[in-house]
Chain A
Amino acid sequence: MLFAGIIIGWWILVTAFPIPEYILPSPGAVIAASFGKDIPWLMHALVTTTEIIGGFLIAVVVGVLLGTLIAWSPTLERALIPFLVFVNTLPKVAVAPLFLLWFGYGIIPNTMIAALIGFFPIVINTAVGLSQTSQDMIDLGRIFGATDWRMFRKIRIPEALPYILSALKVSVSTCVIGAIVAEFIASQRGLGYVIINAQTTLNTPTAFAALLWISVIGLIAYGAVSVLGRWLAPWAEGDRTAGTTL
């Protein structure tokens, strides 16, 4: 309903006012550009999607690992958190030209930038989730003689899952942003590349069309993470009172 309302309002705005197309194209012009033959949309979308998925997977592995280390050891927590906050607050638009210098251009450096933007929510939520295990469950584990590792696997991780899954949903969206930012800095393909090229000739319908495809990819990615979460941990997805620190 909200989407429909926005599109109707947009259509009324461009119809009622003499807004040049290069400032704000009509919804019709954007849809036409989205399916136009001038741009090999599938090829560009595949490149960007690869960067997003690759960045997300790296973010998940690195984020969960670091979050676990932080939850495991207060010493590591004190050592890592300031550094991670520092890295997270670096403006990635400023860092990306350095990636070009260090790693060159293409899918791999773009994937790394996507991961750099996406890992932080996972680290924090993993650490918090692992630290929030209920004392009753810990006591129960100890009564039954569970080792630290067994308690970690059987109690802490399941209790932390609502937090981790929330972070995954945020992270996948930020990985989309990261991939596009990277393509803005240096690229020969991808939806970010299409946007930059379109802007140079003020071809705003095509730029909007690329944004539309980016949003579709983002929605699918978010939905996929939600579905995966329900499949992996149905109890976690069902508990709406649990965890997010974001």
Chain B
Amino acid sequence: MHRNALMKLIAGAFAAVIGSPVYAQTPVKFALNYQVNEAHIAYWVALEKGYYKAKGLDVEIEYSKGSGDAIAKADTGRVDVALADAMAVVPALARGAKIKIIGMVMDKSPLNIFVWDDSPIKAPKDLEGKTLAAPPGDAQRVLFKAFAETVGVDSNKVSWLNVDPAAKVPALVGKRVDGVGTYYTDLPMFEKGMGKGKVRSMRWSDFNFDPYSISIVANDKTIQAKPEMLKAFLEASYMGWRDALANMEEGLTIFKKQVPELDLPVARAAMPMVFDLLQSKRYEEHGIGWIDREKICRTVDLVNTNMELPRKPTCEEVYTSALLPVVKPTTAH
């Protein structure tokens, strides 16, 4: 009797260990494109709610020093999947990286220029003769010539100051430049330094200039060898976005718990702007992260035209929709 009970105990323990999710989890390294910001909320939500775990993924999130750094990590296999600006993917491919965009994040463009509210810059034409600041790799900087052509501005009459991302706000606060090129979602950060109501935006999407921006990338080897892992990762991530879009406060609570150094008031102020960039008819119809072929090809053309690259990658090289899941937002646009 005792021996039977002991055997059952041993068998039960053995089954528990073998069946334990710990042994079924695939490790996945995921690089964000930068230090944590509001546009990363979904991945922490997915982590906290166990969406990655439920799909057998043990996801470890790490930071990067920009899209170029994140792309290099994915290309060399140091991470399995990364966030990167779509416009950084094109030059990377031109220089030999073997990566692809496997899903989008924002469907609408966050491209923008901030100025003081009392600035004489009230329309794009007023940018001529002025000095703007942005890190050299920022989308606003790279695509400014194309934007200028769209709105009838002579881009040669606009000067640019290279700044580190950390210097963007001081550059405008101190009125060292006339405007700063940065994502529209940075508004709360600028208002923190300049005062509420003191910042005026020039959103490029208001002028029908609307290329793709943040995307999810993986290298070609991983796409070939682990498509199911990537599909699962995308699905869990977009489920995180779905939940964050549906319940912002819950998402912020999770975000703050996972990332204690998060500036919650700034994040709370910026989040509706981030969400606005994901709320579109396209995503409602096709699912979050869906890649519109015409838009991605237009984005690739813009980069090829405006950056000096050793070769011009084709649209087909840049992305694949083969791994996209269908996770639709629960809140309508």
| Residues in A lying within 8 Å of B, measured CB to CB | 20-23, 38, 94, 96-98, 100-102, 104-105, 183-188, 193, 196-197, 199-204
Interface of A is mostly: helix
Which among A21, A38, A187 is the interface contact of B162 at CB below 8 angstroms?
Answer: A187
Q: In the complex the two chains form, is B76's CB within 8 Å of A105's CB?
A: no
Closest Cβ–Cβ distance, residue B312 to chain A (whole Å): 13
Q: In the complex the two chains form, is A199's CB within 8 Å of B137's CB?
A: yes
Q: In the complex the two chains form, is B72's CB within 8 Å of A23's CB?
A: yes
Complex interface residues of chain B between 203 and 254 (CB less than 8 A to chain A): none
Extra contacts besides A200-B142, A202-B92 (7): CB < 8 Å: A20-B95, A23-B76, A97-B170, A186-B164, A188-B160, A193-B162, A199-B137
Residues in A neighbouring B59, C-beta threshold 8 A: none
Residues in B neighbouring A104, C-beta threshold 8 A: 174, 176
Q: In the complex the two chains form, is B96's CB within 8 Å of A197's CB?
A: no
Q: In the complex the two chains form, is A188's CB within 8 Å of B162's CB?
A: yes
Which among B72, B95, B173, B174 is the interface contact of A201 at CB below 8 angstroms?
Answer: B95
The answer to the question of B179 belonging to the interface, with a C-beta cut-off of 8 Å to chain A, is: no
Q: In the complex the two chains form, is A101's CB within 8 Å of B162's CB?
A: no
The answer to the question of B135 belonging to the interface, with a C-beta cut-off of 8 Å to chain A, is: yes
Interface mask (B106-141 → A, CB under 8 Å = 1, otherwise 0): 000000000000000000000000000101110000
Closest Cβ–Cβ distance, residue B162 to chain A (whole Å): 5
Q: Tell whether A20 pairs with B161 under 8 Å between CB atoms, given A102-B174, A200-B68.
A: no
User: Can you name the residue of chain A whose Cβ is closest to the Cβ of B131?
Assistant: A188
How far does the alpha carbon of A196 sit from the alpha carbon of B66 in the complex, in Å? Answer: 12
The answer to the question of B1 belonging to the interface, with a C-beta cut-off of 8 Å to chain A, is: no
Q: In the complex the two chains form, is B164's CB within 8 Å of A97's CB?
A: yes
Q: In the complex the two chains form, is A101's CB within 8 Å of B159's CB?
A: no
The answer to the question of B75 belonging to the interface, with a C-beta cut-off of 8 Å to chain A, is: yes
Q: In the complex the two chains form, is A186's CB within 8 Å of B161's CB?
A: yes
Q: List 27 A-B contacts (CB under 8 A).
A: A20-B96, A21-B96, A22-B92, A22-B95, A100-B170, A101-B171, A101-B174, A101-B176, A105-B163, A184-B164, A185-B164, A185-B166, A186-B161, A186-B171, A186-B176, A187-B161, A187-B162, A188-B160, A188-B161, A196-B162, A197-B136, A199-B136, A200-B137, A200-B142, A201-B95, A202-B71, A202-B92
Closest Cβ–Cβ distance, residue B307 to chain A (whole Å): 6
